[in-house]
Amino acid sequence: MNIAVFDIGTNSIHMLVAKIQPGRTFKILEREKDTTRLGDGSFEERRLRKASMRRALSVIEQFHLMSKKYRIKKSIGVATSAVRDAKNGKLFIKEVYRRTGIRIRIISGDEEGRLIELAARSNMDVEGKKTLVVDIGGGSMELIAGDGKKHHFLESFPLGVARLTDHFLRKDPPSSKQMKRLEKYIEKTLEVPARKIRKYEVSLVIGTAGTLINLGSMAFESEYARPLKITHHHVLKNKQLEKLHGQIAPLSLREKLNFPGLDSKRADIILAGSILVRTLMRLLRIEEIILSKRGIREGIILDFIAKNRRSLSRRS
């Protein structure tokens, strides 16, 4: 059985096509991504802009057509922070359905976190370990602490890198005053949650999504002068991030575009990501984050398998 998953995020839109296999496993047949920036300019007005919606609808239609060659039996779609927070988010979802027939579910921050943790823990040696999963998107950040059976902490924060850049880092390059204001805002937002998570005494911190993956690639290439070929399970150390932050903080957008390992489509938001992650690591008193390329899309597949175990067994 082949299924298609559509993930409509603040910064990017993803499609993943997977074949459900016996034994509650799956095989990825195709991945597609477009840095659509659906949330551009939406944070102040809490409305998706018409131009952003047109871009997003075009990408979703394109991905939908691409998925058809796999004889999809089920399409599952979710929308996160940008659509969740926008006053016209539901109208956008209705238009997606009108054009493609795909029913997109606007999920809460907690549900987003649950699906992300499900994926992040799924292919790591975490049995019996207390883990913290950190997922940083364009509009929100999710922190999920638990042992796979019970959540000690699960919360979504309006600390996505596109949102933070729009609110705080408006100069090019950002001034030290702007960066300090952003750092103070993150500290104030996360002070109490960080205290709760520290008391839980996690033994492993897993980081997912594009911002953390890209920071890991940049830190590695800056230190070793060669590209990081495999980002999955790569370890980003606090001291590497501190060094990287010092290198990119004074750069203009044009100068950042030449920085080794940087995804050019993240050039304008990567500094907010660096400030967020280094502040989080300091508040949690952690020295490293292990990176995972699995995220919400894989979590949706695993959740689908778990909820449809009987019917899937009959098919196999």
Instruction: Render 33-55 in DSSP notation, one character per residue.
Output: EE---TTTTHHHHTS--HHHHHH
- Per-chain mean pLDDT for the chain: 94
296-314 in b/e form (b: 16+ CB < 10 A) is: bbbbbbbbbbeeeeeebee
State how far the Cα of 213 lies from the Cα of 211, in Å rounded to an integer.
5
State how far the Cα of 97 lies from the Cα of 185, in Å rounded to an integer.
38
Residue pointed to by tokens 């299924």: 3
Residue 316, pLDDT > 60, answer no
User: What does the pLDDT look like over 198-219, one tens digit per residue?
Assistant: 999 999 999 998 899 999 999 9
Residue 23, pLDDT > 90, answer no
**pTM, to two decimals:** 0.92
Decide which of 316 and 98 is more confident.
Answer: 98
Would you state the pLDDT for residue 218?
Answer: 96
Would you state the pLDDT for residue 312?
Answer: 77
User: What does the pLDDT look like over 33-72, one tens digit per residue?
Assistant: 999 999 988 888 899 999 999 999 999 999 999 999 999 9
* Nearest partner of 283 among 214, 162, 188, judged by Cα: 188
State how far the Cα of 145 lies from the Cα of 200, in Å rounded to an integer.
8
Would you state the pLDDT for residue 126?
Answer: 85
Average pLDDT over residues 78-92: 96
State how far the Cα of 104 lies from the Cα of 300, in Å rounded to an integer.
13
Output helix, strand, coil percentages for the chain, rounded to the nearest 5: 50, 20, 30
Would you state the pLDDT for residue 24?
Answer: 76
Directed axis angle between helix 210-224 and helix 238-248, to 10°?
Answer: 90
**CA-CA distances (angstroms) from residue 70 to 8, 16, 19, 60?**
21, 11, 9, 16
Would you state the pLDDT for residue 123?
Answer: 83
Would you state the pLDDT for residue 200?
Answer: 94
State how far the Cα of 239 lies from the Cα of 145, in Å rounded to an integer.
23
State how far the Cα of 97 lies from the Cα of 79, in Å rounded to an integer.
13
pLDDT band at residue 313 using 50, 70 and 90 as cut-offs: low
State how far the Cα of 270 lies from the Cα of 276, in Å rounded to an integer.
10
Would you state the pLDDT for residue 168?
Answer: 96
